[in-house]
Amino acid sequence: KAGVTQTPRYLIKTRGQQVTLSCSPISGHRSVSWYQQTPGQGLQFLFEYFSETQRNKGNFPGRFSGRQFSNSRSEMNVSTLELGDSALYLCASSLAGTGGPSEQFFGPGTRLTVL
């Protein structure tokens, strides 16, 4: 069974630009969550999508947005990039509906560097 895939794996952008990252969950998984990982802050929750609806959002500015498609694939977008947005962006998928938590499986991440 294929794991979570993320594209692109590496990205270099300059301040002020925008970027779109993509995530394909494990087949059959309907929940997709996004996390930002930095050396200073560790792993922080960005948002979660389930059945094309945003179920929760972390404490990030509105420049960070996302969406989920009917096939459960998800994208996140960061507009007006800042130097501090340089990070590893991780996507995680799980089966979980509304019945409680289930294991989340992470992709390899997209390394974003903002110059």
Binding residues for another protein (CB under 8 A): 4, 31, 33, 35, 42-45, 48, 50, 55-56, 58, 90, 92, 94, 96-98, 100-109, 111
Tokens of 16: 């002020």
CA geometry: angle at 109 spanning 48 and 72, to 5°? 40
Residue among 4 and 81 whose Cβ is closer to another protein: 4
Per this entry, what is the length of the chain?
115
Q: Identity (one letter) of the amino acid at 34?
A: W
Residue 23 and residue 6 in contact, taking contact as beta carbons nearer than 8 Å: yes
Compute φ and ψ for 29, nearest 5 degrees.
-80, 135
The CB-of-14 to another protein minimum distance in angstroms stands at 23
The CB-of-44 to another protein minimum distance in angstroms stands at 8
Tokens of 97: 């509906």
Residue among 24 and 33 whose Cβ is closer to another protein: 33
The CB-of-36 to another protein minimum distance in angstroms stands at 11
Residue among 14 and 51 whose Cβ is closer to another protein: 51
Residue 21 and residue 75 in contact, taking contact as beta carbons nearer than 8 Å: yes
Residue among 18 and 56 whose Cβ is closer to another protein: 56
The CB-of-68 to another protein minimum distance in angstroms stands at 13
